[in-house]
Structure 1
């Protein structure tokens, strides 16, 4: 780390010391989230510090009439910190702004077909992540996160990790020792299996939205990995291991250690 990097880190640490976050406020924000309660106390403390550093580094902007309280800000930051708990906040360097809507927002996209005709499409979204930002979230869906394997914060923030190499394609930068060919092969096999289960009307281990494209497949897998790891490992143990290697976390091991839920 160069001199200016050290200076920036020192300033951030000084600002962190000046933040007065009562324990009651932190628990109001994250105390009901099973994923947070799963961590051991020392890891919860690391997650809290990481979330506060995230608050200091990013701009959180309310859209419309929404008023963002401290508890809301901490809930979003705490959930966002989980995917990078063992990776580090530098993995989020590619974006700077979080925009929060009260409810679902309308996204407008254009695309060109094979005949050169440009189409405009409006769709209701619970979240969206753009290359180099911003990340957009619906507060209504943030509140719903942590139920039945759904987590819009983890979903959208995993997109930003995916985008760190060659755009959103379901293939984030892998660590040394991880095999990109095996990742691609196993992800495709799991996606094909999900499509087969869907066509057969079987119960699905992850949300069917994962079939949209490889980027959505990775994002849905990521939220399932943290929220309902049992279902993911039961369906595709190889995929579970790939994600455990990538995120450098093992949610099922945490559960097995008997951390309170």
Structure 2
């Protein structure tokens, strides 16, 4: 799992040459990159730069959808244009043996859309992702509220993936650890990925996995690593301890 940026796409290009097949879970947008560019170029400058990149990508479907969205001031079409652009960047960095399984909306987009009650955005995103045969995903730090709203909006949890914090000390588990655990208990047909399992380094791996093993309905975990030896040690431990549970 990674945020889509030029750096991660470069790594992906290298990995695709040495690893025959692997599954890709991407997060968009890469918030830092767009904040940096908007600070430097302004919002209008950012829009022009992104529009130019979409045109230069040569993705005819993205260009056509984007022009339609601009002419009609249609936000849904503009969202589809952006998603098609990011998908083309990812697929252009891998070969046919690798699989783009899911694209997650970044937590900033997910949680802002939740706060603004933009149910149409979630429905549009889910429908569009299913049309192009990519599993729609949502990254959130407001898991309990997201579950509540999605149930009210009749969103099928079996057809999406959710990434949310789950850890022993309740780090980033809003509004509380107890509320998040309660909501998790009832999601029997869901696809939940636990993040922040180490609580930003406060917990060690044995502490983290001991807690995760007690949770129901967690399908996978995601852990950030910075060095190769760290990745090998971490993934080896997680595979050994959680393989039967997660």
TM-score, with length taken from structure 1 = 0.28
TM-score, with length taken from structure 2 = 0.29
Which structure's relative contact order is higher, taking Cα pairs within 8 Å and 6+ residues apart?
A: 1
